[in-house]
Structure 1
Amino acid sequence: MKQHTTNYINTFIQIAEDCPVSQSQIPPEKKEKTLANLQYEQISKNPYQYSSDDIIFECYVFKNDIPESEKQNERNIFFSKGQACLRSSPLAKRYGFGIHHNKEGKVAIYPVESKEYQNLLNDSSITKTKAMRSKRK
């Protein structure tokens, strides 16, 4: 079974062109955790600990209440089909966070207003791409 990946190496995902905020916002808590809440918690508490594949799959596990004993098999099935990468993350599309993938493919987030965000933007050794727009042009 072919395995797809959402991982990037040495890449910075900038906020979307149509991101509605100029200062980052922590995704608001709701009765049930949203994808934005799950991604924010996992990445902000564990910078450069997880790959994009790890984050996307763990969110899927949480939302679908998959037991620990079935995770490996479910992961194989999950990545046998292409999945949306973090360019589609609400953190970069709506909440004003850039997403950096280091040389090992591990992920951290940076607020758009931060010095670190600007440093990554100006670093010529890093590939840059923008988050997906929410609306078509």
Structure 2
Amino acid sequence: MSQFIIATHSYLADGYKHSIKFFNSEVKNIHFINAYTEEQNNFVEQVEQILSEFKDEQVTILTDLPGGSVNKESTGLIKKYNCNVISGINLSLVLELVLSFDEVLTDETIRAAVEQARSQIVFMNDLLKGDDL
């Protein structure tokens, strides 16, 4: 089974946790890390603990900001733990990936999910041009 780590600055990971549980309360293969908070002192240590625990499974780390410290630290673990890192996440991407259940994610599957998520970002005013707003 694929494992997922949602790692974000502050408490954004908790928001993803609550949203995912809203859509499927049975999901158990997701781990949430609220980085750089008063409760969380060593982000890398926490990620490595999860990666070590699931070293025989596919692990994908989902981070909030491509240029942020959470992503930089996570990306530094790719070679050591043979994990995937996806940054700049949004809820549609997270749901598509984590609700794949027992499916092992291929690079192609991940790329397709990322492209699909990109298409979900829409400036609605432009979409509705010509319609009465």
User: With structure 2 as the length reference, what TM-score do the two structures score?
Assistant: 0.27
Pick the structure with more helix per residue. 2
User: With structure 1 as the length reference, what TM-score do the two structures score?
Assistant: 0.26
Greater relative CO (CA pairs within 8 A, separation 6+): 1
**Computing the radius of gyration over CA atoms, which structure comes out larger, 1 or 2?**
2
